[in-house]
Structure formats: C-alpha cells, structure tokens
Amino acid sequence: MMSTMTFADSHCHLTDVKFDADREAMLQRARAAGVSRFIVIGANGNFAHNEKAVALAQEQPDVFAVIGVHPHDAKSITDDTYTRLRALARQPKVVGIGETGLDFYYDNSPREDQRTHFRAFIRLARELALPLSMHVRDAYPEAAQTLREEWGSQVEGVMHCFTGSVDEAKILLDLGLFISLSGIVTFKTAQELREVARCAPLDRLLIETDCPLLAPIPYRGKRNEPAYVVEVAKIIAEAKGIPLAEVAEATRRNTERLFRLAA
C-alpha cells in the first residue's frame, strides 16, 4: 500500500554495485514506502560514480545528484578532478557538492590531503553556488573552524550521517548547517544521538540512509535501501514526542529547501 506520508532520503549511494541487480525495484519499494526525494551521492570511490549519479538523476524524476570526492579518496584528487566536476555541475539536476570533509577515524587519505581538498571543495561550492554535503568523523571542531575560515556566515550545507555530541551539533547548527541523521540513530547504543535528535530544531534536521550501508533496526546487518529511511524518521518522532507525519513533512521540506528542489 502506498504511504500517505512523503519522505526524503537526503543521502544515498544508489549507483553502488550492490544495487545493480534490482535498482528499479529498489526505487519502487522506496516510493511505495513514501520516499519522494532521493539525493544520490556520486562520491563513492571511483570518479565514474559521479557520472552515474548524474545519469540516474536525469533518468528518474525524483532523483537528484550531488557530485564530489569522499575524504577517504582525497589523495586521488588532481586538478583534472576539479575540471571534471565543474563540467558535471553544469548538467541538469546536479544540486550539490560532496560528500567532502575530514575523516580522522580511518585516515584512508593523509590528513593534509583531506584538509587541502575540504577547503577546495568549500570554495568550489561557493563558486558554483551549490550547497555542501559533508562527511566528518573524529574532526568536528576542526571542520567547524575550517568552515568559519572559508565561508563564514555564508555556509550552506548539511553534516551528513552526524555521529557527534549535542555540543558538537550545536556548533554546527550555529554555523547555519543542517544535521542529517542516519540509521545509526536507531541503534541501541546511540542514546546520545537520540538526544541530538531531541534537541535539534526540527527545521534543521534531515534524514538519510547512506545506503547500502548502515541499515537501521530492524534491518541491521542487511543491505540498506531508501525505503528504510522511514525507520530513522520514527526514532526522531519518538525522541521529540511528535507525530511521525510531522517529522516526514519537515525533513522532506528541509531537503527541498537545502537542495533547492521544487516542492
């Protein structure tokens, strides 16, 4: 049965090989669950995923593309990378830059490379007048300071898959950012993240799957997909003590506002 509520998955990797066998069926399941907006992230390892994300967005009316290079892959970035991104940004339905940022947990790329390219991506987003989708782990204070230095009060973007503290969330909110919560908020050990959900203003929250990773309870351990973003919304509604429909409406509208999608 088609849901009467509509949701947005503000961060999903739908070009991932794990969806190659059933991508269209996966989209149909999500639509049946009420998902009406899919923000597909091209930063998924090989640069070709950016091109695939743009192509998917152009094929599907409710799919939109964000292009960039993940901080894990910062060491692979060259001048040509930025040339290719600028060209892709001119394509229809490209609505953001990212995911970019700092990941000091895995350190898959040298920290100096991550720092250099995080600043460069902030400048690129400013140049192209597009919002940023950011990935940060074990580096929220430095990321916030970098944003202050590079963009000041003009920052427009989202800290995707936020896993920090209430205090760290407040710093990002004070910068004007949106906070996006993923399936992690449903995990039994995520009490502090549920406190973030309770404290953060509803008009500054987004929801996401980050699929195919991070499936929420009750799907943990399985391949994640956009239909499961509803479980993230349920936990936020529970934490805030408000109806699920209110969370669905607000987070969808927030996604539309950030990425400048037609309502």
Cα torsion through 64, 65, 71, 75, rounded to 10: 170
What tens digit of pLDDT does each residue of 158-180 get?
999 999 999 999 999 999 999 99
Tokens coding 129: 């007048």
**1 band by pLDDT with thresholds 50, 70 and 90:** very low
Over the stretch 82-102, which tens digit does the pLDDT of each residue have? 999 999 999 999 999 999 999
Rounded to the nearest 5 degrees, what angle is found at the Cα of 43, between the Cα atoms of 45 and 128?
145
Give which of 238, 121, 246, 232 is closest to 184, Cα–Cα. 232
Segment 213-233, tens digit of pLDDT: 999 999 999 999 999 999 999
pLDDT digits (tens, 9 = 90+) for 179-218: 999 999 999 999 999 999 999 999 999 999 999 999 999 9
In angstroms, what CA-CA distances link 259 with 113, 150, 225? 27, 20, 21
**Residue 253 tokens, joined:** 């509208």
> Residue 190: CA atoms inside 13 Å, Cβ hemisphere, count?
23
Question: How high is the pLDDT of residue 138?
Answer: 96
In the chain, the domains with their CATH numbers are 7-258 (3.20.20.140)
